[in-house]
Each structure stands twice: as C-alpha cells, then as structure tokens.
C-alpha cells in the first residue's frame, strides 16, 4: 500500500507541473480530454451539482448523510482535500483506494499526452472516469471554482442543481461584484433541472434568477419555498409540504441551520416527498465534515496542552476551520460568540492565509471577540501571506496580533499570554491548507 501511495503521489506531483499552471477558466481542454476518454461524463449516476461560495462542503456532507440514511449508495466529489488526495473522490461513501487512484491517474495522464491541461481538470477527469465505472444511486458533484466554466460543468442533465450562499471571493476570476460572481455560479443551472438556492443577498439572488429564466431552470428559494430555524434546541424545517420538527444538525454553528435546510430541500427534490422525517433526522445526526468547525479531541496539539481524558470545562478547547473569506469568518465568529455565551473564555486565533484573500476583511469579523491573533506561515502553499503581513492585516482590523514560526509555537505563545486561572479557546483558521496540515500532523 505504501508503494501504491508513493506511485499515486509521484503521478500527482507530475500533474502539478502541467500547463497552464495558473487558474484558466475554460471548458475546452476538459471537453477534449473527456472525449478522448470515451465521454465518461455521459455515463454517470444521477448527479446533484453543487456550487456557491460558502457552505458547499457542509451542504454536500449533510446531503450525503440524508441520502445514505435513505439507503442510497452515494458517490461524492469535493475539493480541496485535507490530508490525502483520495479524500476528494468518494466511491460509495469511502475514499477511492490507492490502487484504483494510481491506475486512473496513470490512464488519464497517458491519454492526455502532451496536451495542455490544468491539475484540477485532469484530476476531475480521472474522478469522472471512476464514477462512470462504479455504479451508485447518486453522485454529489462539488464545483471547484465558479460554475459556468468550472471543470465539473460538463454534465448536460443533472437531476438537481444547488447554489449555496454567494459572497465576494475569487474576484480576479469571477467578477468584481456580487452579481457577477453569482452569475458565474448560476452557470451550472440547466433547462428543466430544479435548482435549490440557499440564502442570498438581493443582488446575488437577482443574478441567479436572471440566469434561471434564460435557461428555464425552475428554482426553489430559501425564505420563499423553504426555510429553517432553531427553536428550543430543535431544528425546524418548513416548506410547501409542511413543517418538520427535527434534531439539530451535528455540524457546529448557527449557519449550519441554513446549510441543513438547503440539503433537505435538495434531498427532497431528488428522492421526492417519500423522504421521511425519521430518515432526515438520522441523516442530520450522522453528517460529518472534517476541518469545518471541528474540535480537536486527541493528538499532539491536545497533548501539548496537558489535556488528558475527556474534554471538560476545565480544559482549553481547540477548533479548526478552513474558512478563508469575510463571509465565512462572520459565520465562524458568530459560532465563537455563541460558545462564549455558554462558556466564556478568551479567544485566540492562529491563522495562515493565501495572499489572494481579503485578510483584513476576514479578521474584522472577530473584532471585539478575539483577544489576539498569531499569524503563522503556510506550509504547503507558496503564495501564503508572510506572518508579519498577515499580523499587520489583523492589526488593521483592530485586533492584537503577533507572529509565530508554526502552530506549535503559536500555541505556546497563547499559553504564555493567558492570565492566571484563565482557560483559552483556540481557533486555527484562515485556510483549508493550514487546517489540512494541522490535521495531518495531529493524527
């Protein structure tokens, strides 16, 4: 198995050197390669296609839980991965095997030859090839970037389309305004394919409705056709079929109420009215999504804090979240504020971030909430903020800030900074790459 992992790793490293290396949104290269592979995109299980800025992964994870609770066999495609690349390609609910991944990557690399292709395009083609060769009841297909020109947007007739909340992100590629970005996301909408639309600012919703009208895609809008809220520790979901009283989602955060509602609406669109409250409740209880408001319960980081046994009110709590734009930061900050109401602790942030992100806007969400930010360098990404620059962005946002050589150093500085008798709450955030490195090192 180690030899196979080394083989697939070597192929992935080689694919990373392909041209064009930078993001170049077009479908031409993808369509050429898929044609050479025998058009696997036409031989897939029924597809639920998921786009949006924030919440795509959480919606997919919850949707997977719901459909599995219904007894369906589910494939899933997500990006990026946290620890191992094969996490991106799930076959029947489990990551693709190293042997199968290695064979697929070798096949698509050989067939592509010397033709220009991006890493995401060629690995997406490999994923589609895997899904076309393995039967399932449904494929949950997450967009990589945007929608209209994303490598996943080669599915002519998905069963359901989903657009989660749209926010400002990747403006260099998707447009400067919320409306432009939403228009790109809405590029996944297809004629006569029902689309589930999560909560949107009015500008984004108007853009999505405009695209839907052009392609004759029927919409179900959050707040109009379905909605959800928390009441007395329960999750209330309501649509035109009525109201359901359900357990709260397993995923942490107030924003997961809306994400769960999107997933339920999509599952009902796919399965039909026969999807029962009992099945939905089971799906909500089992859904997991690593790296998104995940509490660390074991491993070197927890051990370094002297925590033994079960976590309790007398021990620090450490959270990781891969959010990297201001809207995501707002959702995480709200969750941290909710936690503080239940159990007040000084919040410390350990952050690393790619240079193309709005760092100041991200940190502004935590103004008045976080005591201090410790900026750390990115390990995997070469285009990460220098810690001094990231700390300056945090200072500009009104937060106390410093730098650390790595996460372990930052935690040590946190423990030196807290007052006598204080127990800190630590949030490691700003990038899925950073979170992935933490989870890998902490395993």
pLDDT band at 170 (very low <50, low <70, confident <90, very high): confident
> What pLDDT shows up at residue 33?
97
pLDDT of residue 23: 64
Q: What is the DSSP letter of 385?
A: P
pLDDT bucket at 58, cuts 50 / 70 / 90: very high
pLDDT at 310: 64
Q: How confident is the model at residue 308 (pLDDT cuts 50, 70, 90)?
A: low
- Domains of the chain (ranges, CATH numbers): 2-286 (3.40.1190.10), 294-441 (3.90.190.20)
Retrieve residue 49's tokens.
Answer: 């296609």
For position 311, what pLDDT does the model report? Answer: 64
Q: How far apart are CA 411 and CA 386, in angstroms?
A: 18
Name the region of 375 (left: φ>0; alpha: ψ -120 to 50; beta: rest).
beta
C-alpha span between 95 and 406 (Å, rounded): 30
Cα–Cα distance between 328 and 29 in angstroms, integer? 32
The pair of structure tokens assigned to 410 is: 């930052």
- The partner residues of 384 in beta bridges, in order of sequence, read 354
Provide the H-helix boundaries in 134-215: 171-174, 178-185, 202-215
Query: Is residue 185 predicted with pLDDT exceeding 60?
Result: yes
Strand, helix or coil for residue 282: helix
The pLDDT mean for the chain works out to 92
Q: What is the model's pLDDT at position 381?
A: 58
The 10s digit of each residue's pLDDT in 407-416 is: 999 999 999 9
Buried b (16+ CB within 10 A) or exposed e, 75-85: bbbbbbebbbb
Q: Which residues contact 425 (CB under 8 A, 6 or more apart)?
A: 316, 317, 319, 336, 339, 340, 345, 346, 347, 348
Element (H, E) at 435: helix 432-441
Q: Measure the CA–CA gap between 50 and 40, rounded to whole angstroms.
A: 19
Burial class (CB in 10 A: 0-12, 13-18, 19+), 92: middle
Q: How far apart are CA 163 and CA 149, in angstroms?
A: 15
Count of Cβ atoms closer than 10 Å to residue 102 Cβ: 22
**Contact assessment for residue 405 and residue 412, using Cβ atoms and an 8 Å cutoff:** no
In 3D space, the residue among 387, 369, 395, 392 whose CA is nearest the CA of residue 431 turns out to be 387
Edge to edge, the sheet with strand 234-239 lists 226-231, 234-239, 242-246
Q: Which residue has the tokens 């060629």?
A: 122
Q: Quick check: 142 and 47 in contact, CB under 8 A?
A: no
Side-by-side strand order, sheet with 347-351 = 294-295, 317-321, 425-429, 347-351, 370-375, 400-403
In the predicted structure, residue 266 carries a pLDDT above the cut 80: yes
3-state secondary structure of 1: coil
3-state DSSP call for residue 163?
strand
Query: CA nearest 62: which of 228, 226, 365, 266?
Result: 266
Residue in this structure with the two tokens 């995480």, named with its chain if needed: 332
pLDDT tens per residue across span 329-341: 999 999 999 999 9
- Give dist(CA 196, CA 109) in Å, integer: 36
């Amino acid at each position: 198995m180690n030899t196979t992992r080394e083989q697939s790793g070597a192929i992935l490293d080689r694919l990373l050197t392909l041209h064009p290396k930078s993001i170049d949104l077009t479908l031409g290269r993808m369509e050429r390669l898929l044609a050479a592979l025998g058009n696997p995109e036409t031989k897939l299980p029924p597809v639920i296609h998921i786009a949006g800025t924030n919440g795509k992964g959480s919606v997919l994870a919850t949707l997977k839980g719901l459909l599995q609770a219904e007894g369906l066999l589910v494939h899933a495609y997500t990006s990026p991965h946290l620890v191992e690349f094969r996490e991106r390609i799930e076959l029947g609910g489990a990551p693709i095997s190293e042997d199968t991944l290695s064979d697929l990557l070798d096949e698509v690399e050989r067939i592509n030859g010397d033709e220009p292709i991006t890493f995401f395009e060629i690995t997406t083609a490999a994923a589609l090839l895997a899904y076309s060769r393995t039967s399932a009841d449904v494929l949950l297909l997450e967009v990589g970037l945007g929608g209209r020109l994303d490598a996943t947007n080669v599915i002519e007739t998905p069963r359901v389309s989903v657009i989660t909340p749209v926010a400002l992100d990747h403006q260099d590629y998707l447009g400067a305004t919320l409306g432009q970005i939403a228009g790109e996301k809405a590029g996944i909408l297809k004629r006569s394919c029902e689309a589930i639309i999560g909560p949107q600012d009015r500008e984004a919703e108007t853009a999505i409705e405009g695209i839907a009208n052009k392609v004759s895609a029927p919409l179900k809008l959050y707040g109009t056709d379905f909605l959800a809220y928390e009441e007395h520790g329960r999750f209330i979901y309501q649509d035109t079929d009525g109201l359901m009283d359900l357990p709260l989602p397993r995923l942490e955060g107030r924003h997961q109420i809306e994400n769960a509602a999107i997933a339920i609406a999509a599952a009902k669109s796919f399965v039909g009215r026969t999807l029962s409250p009992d099945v939905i409740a089971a799906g909500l209880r089992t859904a997991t999504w690593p790296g998104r408001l995940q509490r660390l319960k074991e491993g070197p980081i927890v051990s370094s804090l002297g925590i033994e046994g079960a976590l309790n009110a007398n021990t620090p709590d450490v959270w990781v979240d891969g959010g990297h734009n201001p809207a995501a930061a707002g959702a995480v900050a709200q969750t941290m504020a909710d936690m503080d109401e239940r159990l007040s602790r000084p919040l410390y942030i350990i952050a690393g971030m790619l240079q193309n992100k709005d760092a100041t806007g991200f940190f502004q969400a935590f103004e008045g909430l976080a005591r201090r930010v410790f900026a750390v360098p990115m390990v995997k990404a070469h285009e990460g903020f220098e810690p001094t620059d990231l700390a300056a962005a945090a200072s500009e946002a009104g937060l106390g800030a410093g730098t650390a050589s790595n996460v372990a150093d930052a935690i040590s500085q946190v423990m030196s900074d807290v007052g006598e008798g204080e127990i800190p709450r630590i949030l490691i955030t700003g990038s899925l790459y950073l979170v992935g490195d933490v989870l890998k090192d902490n395993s």
